[in-house]
Structure formats: structure tokens, C-alpha cells
Amino acid sequence: MSKTITLRIEDPIYDIFKKAAEGERRTISNFVENAAIQYLTNEFYASDEEMEEILSNKQLVSSLKKGLKEAAQGKYKVVR
């Protein structure tokens, strides 16, 4: 089910969104939704190539596993 959000932006930013949406023949809402999805996908997920590079680094994988184990055991410090 669709959800509605309210986004407050300055006029110059709105104009940028409007022009970009018009350039792609989309509504502003659809443009913002697609831009957000594209940003999140690119910034927060590793590509297949990146995952291959990460998984091939045995020292890194070992260190990550050790860190996960220590975190599960409560062996960590919160730094503020």
C-alpha cells in the first residue's frame, strides 16, 4: 500500500526537482521516489564485484567474523 510523506524543501531545490522530473517525463513525486531508490541502492548495497573483492580478502573476512562473534558475546565498547 502506498504511503504519503511530506518533504519541505527550498524553492531552488524544488525547481531542480521539477526540471529534472520534466526532463524524464515523470511527476515530481515519481522522480523523487526513483532518485531515492537509486541513491539507496548505490550507496548501501555492494555490487557483485565489490562482494567478490571483499570475500576474497581472507584477512578481512576473518576479522569481520571475529568482530561479529565478540559483539554477540557483548565484548564491545560504545564510543561517544
Q: What is the CATH number of the domain that holds 1?
A: 1.10.1220
Is 24 found in the same domain as 38?
yes
Task: Please provide the average confidence, as pLDDT, over all residues in the chain.
Answer: 94
Same domain, 7 and 39: yes
Task: Specify whether the CB–CB gap between 31 and 21 falls below 8 A.
Answer: yes
How would you label 28-60 residue by residue, b for 16+ Cβ within 10 Å and e otherwise?
Answer: eeebbeeeeeeeeeeeeeeeeeeeeeeeeeeee
Specify whether 53 is located in the same domain as 26. no
Give the structural domain span for 27: 1-45
Shared domain check, 37 and 2: yes
What sign does the dihedral 36-39-41-43 (CA atoms) show? negative
User: Looking at residue 9, what is its pLDDT?
Assistant: 96
pLDDT in tens, the chain (80 residues): 989 999 999 999 999 999 999 999 999 999 999 999 999 988 888 889 999 999 999 999 999 999 999 999 999 888 99
Task: Please check whether residues 53 and 79 belong to one and the same domain.
Answer: yes
At residue 47, the pLDDT reads: 87
Q: What is the pLDDT of residue 42?
A: 87
Cell 550507496 locates to 43
